[in-house]
Amino acid sequence: MKILHIPTGGLFSDGIGTFIYSYLEYMDLSEIEVTILATNKPLLEDKLKFQVLGVQIVEIERKKSSILAYMREFLELLKVGKYDVVHVHGSSALMSIELFIAKIMGVPVRIAHSHNTTCNHILLDRMLRPFFYTLYTQSWACGEKAGEWLFKDKRFKVIHNARDVEKYSFNPHLRRVFRTTHSLKENTLALGHVGRFNIQKNHTFLLDLMDEMKCKQKDVKLFLVGEGEKVEDVKRYVKERKLENSIVFLNRYSDMQSFISAMDIMLLPSLYEGLPLVAIEWQINGIQSILSTTISDECIFTNSIQQLPIDNVSTWIKAIEDFSYINRLEKSRENIDLAQKSNYDIRIEAKKLENEYKKLIGE
């Protein structure tokens, strides 16, 4: 079986890239040949982790200025590759480009996979919708809201953003090591955020929050994990507000078990989300978390998450001030059990996806 994955926004170590990697890591690839089309120039480390699994990476940039060149190269890739499945990941009808070429090239299984609840190109999306609905053979989504956004009243299948429950469970030893390394006192409240530096993740809200916390002279530190086009802007704002001693940029931080275990509260004030992977990881770890009400509550399967509006930082600060320590080890164990019951255990879900592919091509 030959499968081509296409994350239309590019191959990165977060979001859709993480989703694809997580599933491939736990699938039996001995009888499956997997290729990923990177529509950007991915970092070497992002390519290497897939190549270790035996996955081939093909790079064809999907630039607005050269979309016809991209289509020609993509058509040639399909001609040579002779794929059984083309699995396109995105958040809008702009996936029509890949799905249309896959259709005219006779790819039997064409999956449109929705990963968000809105998109950046609303007008183009609206124009392409009627055409888009004629191109895919399967409609999948990371959650109900993401499916309803892209497929409206049409049928779709939910593929859960599952995670490795062992990899994200709470670890008290790793907590101590991280906090010692970063000179955090016992009573220092550590706030964490994981997300690509873009408009969607709403980092300015976090800066406003820390500004106000600083005025209240609270012993609080905010740790930011992620990269992206807005990172330098955010760093500049941090300097302008004189928050350098209160905010730590961890950039690409791969040891999420250590990071989440070391934090006291996780924050996600996104303007919109499909079904955030990080919310699953945080619940597995048992950490108390605050998410914006703009995020679908489908990602919540425990009582570790609180949702608040993002029209005022004061409500978030009040929630942070009301924080009280819990037995994280016990809470993590309890939440892992709930994750497995809610279809968020990657070992179980990867096997289901593997069987679904086989069923689709008639094996």
Note the pLDDT tens digit of each residue in 173-204: 999 999 999 999 989 999 999 999 999 999 99
DSSP symbols for 25-75: HTS-GGG-EEEEEESS---HHHHHHHHHTT-EEEE----GGGHHHHHHHHH
pLDDT confidence tier of residue 348, bands split at 50, 70 and 90? very high
DSSP symbols for 233-279: HHHHHHHHTT-TTTEEEEES---HHHHHHH-SEEEE--S--SS-HHH
Q: Is the pLDDT of residue 363 over 70?
A: no
Q: Write down the residue that tokens 């124009």 correspond to.
A: 127
Greater confidence (127 vs 228) lies with 127
Could you report the per-residue pLDDT of 66-87, keeping only the tens digit for each?
Answer: 899 999 999 999 999 999 999 9
What percentage of the chain has pLDDT greater than the value 70?
Answer: 100
pLDDT confidence tier of residue 14, bands split at 50, 70 and 90? confident
d(CA 66, CA 94): 15
Report CA-CA distances (Å) from 33 to 83, 108, 220, 227: 9, 16, 48, 30
d(CA 329, CA 332): 5
Residues 6+ apart with CB under 8 A from 244: 238
Average of per-residue pLDDT across 36-41: 95
- Position 173 scores a pLDDT of 97
Average of per-residue pLDDT across 146-161: 95
Average of per-residue pLDDT across 153-159: 96
Average of per-residue pLDDT across 214-226: 91
d(CA 60, CA 40): 7
Q: Write down the residue that tokens 């879900």 correspond to.
A: 349
Q: Write down the residue that tokens 């040891």 correspond to.
A: 255
Instruction: Please give the mean pLDDT across all residues of the chain.
Output: 95
d(CA 312, CA 55): 45
Average of per-residue pLDDT across 112-137: 95
d(CA 336, CA 280): 10
The domain made up of 2-162+346-360 has a fold known as: Rossmann fold (3.40.50)
Inter-residue contact 187 to 219 (CB < 8 Å) = yes
The angle that helices 122-132 and 96-104 make with each other, rounded to 10 degrees, is 30
d(CA 173, CA 282): 17
pLDDT confidence tier of residue 63, bands split at 50, 70 and 90? confident
- Position 125 scores a pLDDT of 96
Could you report the per-residue pLDDT of 87-105, keeping only the tens digit for each?
Answer: 999 999 999 999 999 999 9
Residues 6+ apart with CB under 8 A from 260: 168, 170, 192, 266, 281, 282, 285, 287
Task: Provide the whole-model pTM.
Answer: 0.85
pLDDT confidence tier of residue 148, bands split at 50, 70 and 90? very high
Q: Which two tokens stand for residue 351?
A: 């096997």
What percentage of the chain has pLDDT greater than the value 90?
Answer: 89
CATH 3.30.70.360 fits 172-341, yes or no: no
> Where are the domains positioned within the chain?
2-162+346-360, 172-341
Q: Are strands 265-268 and 157-158 parallel, antiparallel or unpaired?
A: unpaired
Inter-residue contact 197 to 229 (CB < 8 Å) = yes
Q: Is the pLDDT of residue 274 over 80?
A: no
Q: Is the pLDDT of residue 300 over 90?
A: yes
- Containing 189, the helix (H) or strand (E) segment is strand 189-194
